[in-house]
Structure 1
Amino acid sequence: MKRAAPIRAADHDDSAEAPAQTSAPDYSGVTDFPMHYFAAIVRQNQLNLTHVLRPFELSVPQWRVLSALAAKDRHTVGQIAEFAVLDRSGLGRLLEQMEMAGLVERTSAPEDRRAVLIRLSPAGKKRRAAAFPLVVAHYRRLLRGISGAEYKALMGLLRRVKANALMMADVSLLESG
């Protein structure tokens, strides 16, 4: 299959109308919306991953926090919320529970002693390392039958949809303000 050349800014003519889609979806049924599939995949993945993490006494949100901290130790609560894709309002309580369980530790930021940074504790590192191979196997099963090229294309499309969603949120904030 031949790939279309990427659109460059120099190729764009603001005065021209966008071409009509020849096979636009009609969105007449709930399964005609891509977000239906995103929601179904996320829901089932949460259930499946919960089962994988249960022997390690970890919840999916805890796993996401541990993974965010494993990628770069010492995050602010806001950074963890962004990287782990968790609602900030419940994250403080989750981090308190994880701290009481010995999975994370709070430290002061060297440049501002009032700022709190979260880091993995040795026990958190150990628990994540123990669960990691099973989580990787879980995701390999989830993506079974998808080639490397398809995976790369899928990730590119997902990044584009995410960027569009974030851009829409920015526009909505401007319009409502």
Structure 2
Amino acid sequence: MEHRARVPAPHPAEDITEHVGYRLKRASAALRGAMDKALRAYDLTVPQYSCLELLDEQPGLSNADLARGTFVTRQSANVVLRGLKDAGLISRPAATDHGRALPVHLTPAGRQRLHAARGAVYAVEERMIGSIPARRLTALLADLDAMAEALDERPEPPGAVES
């Protein structure tokens, strides 16, 4: 049996459950489960709800924009949009006058469904953030943003040559 050197942990931890990544994933899974449950009453999935929220704020987004904004692939966004369109919650032209991106818009029924579901989703978030002192929320949000930005950076690999 080959002996492998132990890789040092990024911070002191007794086991995997004390790692930041594990805790973030646990919180994310709990949030997703609570949102799934809350949205069932409105016949929406979390990605569908997220698309409706984005379209309410920014009408005319493309499939690619919605995929990025909802953290899914373009293929998954197509499935989500097809479901929303079949339900009459969004409109999307068959063709566009310029470019290839087809702008997506909420229908009145989509806006109505979004507004009905929003209260349930906000109640989930209130329950979640109600578990921490209000004075720490701003710092938590800043820390989460800093962690995401640290991982979004793509440093050059060692030995890479600039062109």
Q: Which residue of 75, 97, 101 maps to 2:83?
A: 97
2:67 and 2:76 in contact (8 A); partners too: no
Shift of 1:98: 1.1
Instruction: Give the fraction of aligned pairs with identical amino acids, expressed as a percent.
Output: 22
Match of 2:58 in 1: 72
Match of 1:139 in 2: 125
Q: Which residue of 54, 62, 71 maps to 1:85?
A: 71
1:99 maps to a residue whose letter is K
Match of 1:166 in 2: 152
Q: Aligned runs of 1:23-62 on 2, under 5 Å?
A: 25-27=11-13, 29-62=15-48
Give every structure 1 segment of 4 or more consecutive aligned residues whose post-TM-superposition deviation is greater than 3 Å: 107-110
Match of 1:8 in 2: none
Report which stretch shifted further, 54-63 or 143-152: 143-152
1:50 maps to a residue whose letter is D
Superimposed CA distance per residue, residues 59-94 of structure 1 (whole angstroms, 9 cap, x where no aligned partner): 111111111111111101111112222222211111
**Structure 2 Cα separation of the partners of residues 67 and 96 of structure 1:** 16
Shift of 1:28: 5.3
Structure 1 unpaired stretches of 5+: 1-23
2:137 maps to a residue whose letter is Y
Structure with greater proportional strand content: 1
| Larger RCO (CA under 8 A, 6+ residues apart) | 2
**Structure 1 Cα separation of the partners of residues 91 and 40 of structure 2:** 22
1:25 and 1:32 in contact (8 A); partners too: no
Structure 2 unpaired stretches of 5+: 1-9
Shift of 1:165: 1.2
Query: Could you say if the C-alpha distance between residues 171 and 63 of structure 1 is closer, same or farther in structure 2, counting changes exceeding 3 Å?
Result: farther
1:140 maps to a residue whose letter is E
Task: Describe the SS at the equivalent of 1:56.
Answer: coil
Q: CA RMSD in A?
A: 2.2
Number of corresponding residues: 149
Query: Could you say if the C-alpha distance between residues 101 and 165 of structure 1 is closer, same or farther in structure 2, counting changes exceeding 3 Å?
Result: same
1:54 maps to a residue whose letter is R
Q: Which residue of 92, 99, 105 maps to 1:106?
A: 92
Task: Describe the SS at the equivalent of 1:117.
Answer: coil
TM-score, normalised via structure 1 length: 0.76
